[in-house]
Chain A
Amino acid sequence: MNGPARPVARIAGVTQRYGHVIALDDVSIEIPAGCMVGFIGPDGVGKSTLLSLIAGSRQIQSGSVLVLDGDMANAAHRSRICSRIAYMPQGLGKNLYADLSVRENIEFFGRLFGQSRSERDDRVGDLLESTGLAPFSDRPAKKLSGGMRQKLGLCCCLIHDPDLLILDEPTTGVDPLSRRQFWVLIDRMRSRSQGMSVLVATAYMEEAERFEWLVAMNAGKVIGTGSPTELKAKAGAATLEEAFIALLPVEERGDHKALHVPPRHIGEGEPIIVARDLTCRFGDFTAVDRVSFTIERGEIFGFLGSNGSGKTTTMKMLTGLLAPTLGEALLFGKRLEPGDMSSRYRVGYMSQSFSLYTELTVRQNLELHARLYNLPADKAKARISELIAWFGLADYLDQQASDLPLGIRQRLSLAVAIVHEPEILILDEPTSGVDPLARDRFWEALIDLSRRQDVTIFVSTHFMNEAERCDRISLMDSGRVLATGTPAQLVKSRGAATLEDAFIGYLEEATGTGASATKPLAPTSQTVRRPRSAIEAHSGFSPRRLLAYTIREALELLRDPIRLGFSLFGTTLLMLVFGFGVSTDVNNLSFAVLDHDQSTESRAYLEELRGSSYFTEKPPLADYGVLENRMRSGNIRAAVEIPAGFGRDIKRGRPAWVGAWVDGAMPFRAETIRGYLQAMHALYLTDPAVITTVPTAPFPADIELRFKYNQDFDSIYAMVPANISLLLAIFPAILMALAIVREKELGSITNLYATPVTRFEFLIGKQLPYVGVALANFTLMFLLAIFVFQVPLKGSFTALLLGVLIYVIAMTAYGMLISAFTRTQIAALFGAAILTVLPATQFAGMMTPVSSLGGGAQILGRAFPMTYFVPISVGAFTKGLGFLALTPDLAALAVFVPVLTLMNVLLLRKQER
């Protein structure tokens, strides 16, 4: 803050729209460099959008964004400065990988910034030490508490010593102790890296007090900038919160006033909710550890604690969703039984994620819940209009829940939860992510329910000012209740000034980690600021960044034994089944005879049929009616009729006739049966053993069929290599499609947007582990083919191996292509299934050569890599071909790789829209 430094970011005339919603409306500001800048304002006012624009992870729609002396619309500038920026997106640990350990997460980011092993080890050790995460370095991120996760996120951001650190609501959902430690950490990092600019969005006004410069935002506009003191002075307000409200346009200020909680009239004394030693374990992890409390009628009971402290699990046990491992829960004095419907009519529940059906409108959501609680139609109507009026939902009735602002959505959630007038209301972090004004309105409703309607409310929160409004609260940490009492009692017993201080006191006492945050930094890091490993960060292609994704994806796969097991052995299992089952050798065909003649001659004719190994005979037919019935029911596939007078005709030298009926329901089978019958008939005519007829003269030419490559015409030799092709088409494509879309859906795709990794490195890096899995699949299937099915490899192994390698690369790239068009995992799964199973089983030459297929099928077949691999697989196994003969197919297959890869790179965005 010494001297007029050049601004770190200059934003001019920026407008961003998502559909109809305007997220940023002609915003122009200059953000000073080298200081701590806070962005404050309610949810959905455009803070996150603005930060992601500055971070370069979102595409600019209109206006200009200059960051670190360059235009962020310019891709070259972005990639140049990318390694000087660190961006932590909103949402706890959204850019982290839950299955990876603390150390692995940080190392991943180190690789993304092109750090060598020694540099990385040095930095990781340093960061773990200074954040107090060192003892937990091997713990998976998903098992970290909210506060630790946040610290880990910060480590990942700081691994490359950024000049500009962008944190989007880094402390939302974190307990006060962790929050305090977090800010201490940030201060120390700043003192260590002189001149680092930090941009922070926050919903906590008390946090904003500590920032040097503030940007207040509302409805996509900047409504004020300046230091906290300046802002307060300008508005003439004592606190920032009041100052912010004063800055709002008049019509939005509403009738905001401090919330008053009327005292509860105590007296009934009957406990409504009782928890006794509730314990819940998942495997070796104890989520809730001997929690006990009682809640009385009409009481507002608060559960205070960070994410992952066991609040949600406790609430789930009280609603009957989870059975406690130990202990018991009583509602209305009765033990909770899983199948007990009557108590459910008396309880309302609102889960953390606003359990609304987002595709339904406001009205539909209300009506659905009224119906499911079996409210009579007239009563339901009255109740719904009452709720609509009370919660001010009238303007939104026909809007979809997904389109509602967060505050309205949360009110609708509450309305839905109390539609059946429950006596108990269980609310799991109902205000998380909602701005202060909306939170106050929500609490008004809760207080009204409690005080006027005697509803017992059990609510969890991590906001201190909300906790202060509760009649009593329990402080939770790591599954245990630290203390229970009225807010005033707790403050007093700790001798603290505020509830927050009291909570921190309890936390420090419980965990004994109070000192960790103030541990001195390692001496090396305090003084020396290492040169950034900038060589690789700038260059176009970095094998190290590519490898970062490969290592990470492989680790994730290894950590999910079910997914790994299925993807390794699923193909093996199916190969076994298909090897036996998918065959074109038609045997065991059932037939029956209708012999009107019953003569020596007719029996001689039928003997030829009965001797065939293709047919099995069923009981003979009595008449046409039976014949028709049994054909119709599928009991027999063919019927042979010998008319009366058959023997007589033969004896007299007159041409005799035999009739055969074949079930035409399955054309392939019908054709095959017809062929068998005709062959058998021809055999009969020339069979010297048949003494009833004079054998006919041999045919004037000897037509000889030679089945090449497969003398016995046994389909296993064609089907086993084809099955390998089929399974290597479907599994890699689906796994790959899901792997990419998963990042989109779970949010870790941000790391592609905000780090120097290129699209090419990202895609190939993610592809390699699946290519590896597919090669392992191939090895297993190859062994099955040789040893179980005894299909020998007659041709070139090298060509087959090379073909497999190219093929699985092409198929994983095909899966990626599908993922480019889908945004949810469901759509990816469905799309990948439809777009691989049909071409693979029908149009890729598995049963029928592609050149013989009709129109559309042939086009689909030609555009599918498997079409070119089937000849390689069959050629190498059964045809015994060498490398040279397989070269054309190898070349055709190889064309897919660059084409698909290029399409994938072009279709993937480096920035969010």
Chain B
Amino acid sequence: MRKLANIYWLGVKELRSFLHDYVLLGLVVYSFSLAVVIQARSNSQELHNGSIAIVDEDRSELSRRIAHAFMPPLFQPPQMIAERDIVPMMDKGRYTFVVDIPANFEQDVLGGRRPGLQIDVDATAMVQAGLGSGYAQSIITTEITDFLSNSEGVPLSPVNLDVLISFNPNITTAWFTSVMGIINSVTMLAIILSGAAIVREREHGTMDHLLVMPLTPFEIAMSKIWANGLVIAVAVGLSLYLVVRLILGVPIAGSIPLFMAGVVIYLFFATAIGIFLGTVARSMPQLGLLFMLVFLPMNMLSGSNTPLESMPPWLATAMQVSPSTHFVSFAQSILYRGAGLDVVWPEFLAVAGIGGLFFGLAILRFRSVTAQGS
């Protein structure tokens, strides 16, 4: 009871100081509003405005049709270039795709001579090249088929494949990037806020003061966790309702309360590791470097940027230790696939467990921290 009261009052103090720091407050607001909107509208995870050029040596009806078939939003309007320009333009990265239609293409198609048509793809623009080459191929195939059958429907093959995308039928990337933006901000903020809170108390000498009072390191750490966690949880909630749903118009399939429960568990972990780093670092530059070393892999490899399936198996397994991986995974399950607690509880448990571990380590380090004070 007394413990709870201490934790509560220390946390209230923490909140008061936080609300007093306008620069910090401004950065928090930015990272949960504008930053999320910009990321959601960035189209960085899809084929969008792919730059394309066409070398038309055929100048026929068919070649014109093919050129016209490449349209926004998937592709920029194609530019007509000469064959000798292909290499310099692609070297400069001006075009990701160049379609080379040889002379007599239409005649050869009609004559059944199977002419060749080349699509040069800049294979260093990975996301675009991968998705775009498939699209380009199917656009050209459709055009040729239409041309041959005189715009009548495509005759059915003996076997046909019908691909449905579940949970996000039109593959709208904003649904994904908006929430991933929130998740990345959560990790960044929680670690910096709680870590810096420890370093700051030490620099201002107030940590000594707390430790001579009848307070345990557990209570001090807990108060920072709940106060910083609350700030971020509120920011996440507001951001989900106001920014993601209202401004970006993303439909959320699952239960927001369940997701928020997950956020709270994740925040326990993230603030705990922040406190741990705060006890390890001796100065702010050191905290900054530690933060980078911990945050960047957690952010880049969590599955929010590139799929976990693209990592070598050993690394994907190793990333299971990082709660950010579980966070991304259960966020996707809950928000897009509408999964319930019966599905996500193992991930909740994993995050809580790892959080508990770092919390324990932070408490252990707490006392030795003050020894460095003088």
Contact = CB atoms under 8 A, between A and B. Distances in A.
Interface in B36-86: 37-39, 41-51, 76
B300 A650 contact: no
Interface in A408-432: none
A664 B307 contact: no
A857 interface: yes
A666 B303 CA distance: 9
B280 to A, nearest CB: 10
A888 interface: yes
B212 A672 contact: no
Nearest to B344: A633
A735 B339 CA distance: 42
B83 to A, nearest CB: 14
B337 interface: yes
A323 interface: yes
Contacts of B21: 359
Nearest to A664: B168
Given A662-B166, A852-B48, A577 B120 contact: no
A830 interface: yes
Nearest to A718: B124
B330 to A, nearest CB: 9
Contacts of A857: 38-39, 41-44
Nearest to A878: B124
Given A825-B284, A879-B91, A848 B127 contact: yes
B163 A713 contact: no
Contacts of B206: 355-357
B88 interface: yes
Given A704-B118, A708-B123, A738 B309 contact: no
A699 B209 CA distance: 80
Interface string B303-339: 1011101111101100100000000010011001111
Interface in B161-214: 161-169, 171-173, 175-176, 184, 188, 192, 196, 199-200, 204-206, 208-209, 211-214
B103 interface: no
B288 A849 contact: no
A829 B188 contact: no
Contacts of A352: 205
Contact of A563 (B127, B131, B211, B286): B286
Contacts of A583: 306, 310-311
B160 A658 contact: yes
A853 B125 CA distance: 13
Contact of A372 (B38, B39, B200, B214): B214
Contacts of B176: 665-667
A856 B38 contact: yes
B150 interface: no
B126 A875 contact: no
Interface stretch (A14-22, A504-512, A679-687): A679-687
B289 interface: yes
Given A708-B120, A855-B41, A372 B6 contact: yes
Contacts of A345: 214
A584 B162 contact: no
Contacts of B357: none
A864 interface: no
Contact of A368 (B9, B167, B313): B9
A585 interface: yes
A450 interface: no
Nearest to A839: B38
B144 interface: yes
Contacts of A665: 167-168, 176, 332-333, 336-337
B39 to A, nearest CB: 6
A313 B90 contact: no
Contacts of B144: 699-701
Nearest to B41: A854
B117 A701 contact: yes
A689 interface: no
Contact of A696 (B108, B157, B292): B157
Contacts of A109: none
A671 B129 CA distance: 12
A353 interface: yes
A675 B370 CA distance: 58
A895 interface: no
Contacts of A730: 292, 296
Interface string B83-111: 00000101111001000000001001100
Interface stretch (A41-49, A84-92, A292-300, A566-574): A566-574
B42 A563 contact: no
A740 to B, nearest CB: 11
Interface stretch (A314-322, A461-469, A748-756): A314-322
Which residue among B21, B27, B141, B213 has the maximum number of chain A CB atoms within 10 Å of its CB?
A: B213
Contact of B292 (A344, A656, A731, A843): A731
A632 B87 CA distance: 46
Interface in A667-724: 667-672, 674-675, 677-679, 681, 684-685, 693-694, 696, 698-711, 713, 715, 717-719
B292 A570 contact: yes
Nearest to A655: B156
A713 B123 CA distance: 6
Given A584-B306, A719-B126, A830-B24, A351 B205 contact: yes
B120 to A, nearest CB: 5
Contacts of B20: 359
Given A665-B167, A854-B43, A829 B192 contact: yes
Given A357-B17, A854-B43, A670 B204 contact: no
A683 to B, nearest CB: 11
B49 A851 contact: yes
Nearest to A371: B9
Given A833-B291, A848-B125, A580 B315 contact: yes
A291 interface: no
Interface in A630-674: 631-634, 637, 650, 653, 655-672, 674
A133 interface: no
Interface in A146-172: none
A106 to B, nearest CB: 25
A5 interface: no
Interface in B321-374: 329, 332-333, 336-339, 343, 367, 370-371, 373-374
B127 A351 contact: no
Given A349-B209, A372-B213, A657-B160, A580 B312 contact: yes
Contact of B293 (A357, A574, A849): A574
B257 interface: no
A730 B313 CA distance: 27
Contacts of B116: 701-702, 704
Which residue among A847, A854, A858, A885 has the maximum number of chain B CB atoms within 10 Å of its CB?
A: A854
A694 B158 CA distance: 8
Contacts of A577: 297, 301, 315
A355 B162 contact: no
Nearest to A669: B307
Interface string A325-358: 0000000000000110100110101011111111
B325 to A, nearest CB: 11
Contact of A831 (B9, B27, B38, B289): B27
B181 to A, nearest CB: 8
B261 interface: no
Contacts of B312: 580-581
24 contacts: A316-B208, A352-B205, A371-B6, A374-B2, A581-B301, A586-B310, A633-B333, A668-B131, A669-B307, A670-B168, A674-B165, A699-B141, A700-B114, A701-B109, A705-B118, A707-B133, A708-B120, A711-B123, A825-B285, A826-B24, A837-B188, A852-B48, A852-B49, A879-B124
Nearest 8 A/B pairs, CB to CB = A857-B42, A664-B168, A353-B205, A355-B209, A710-B123, A825-B284, A707-B123, A665-B332
Given A369-B213, A847-B126, 11 more contacts: A312-B374, A355-B206, A357-B206, A581-B319, A650-B158, A709-B123, A710-B124, A735-B288, A843-B44, A853-B44, A885-B88
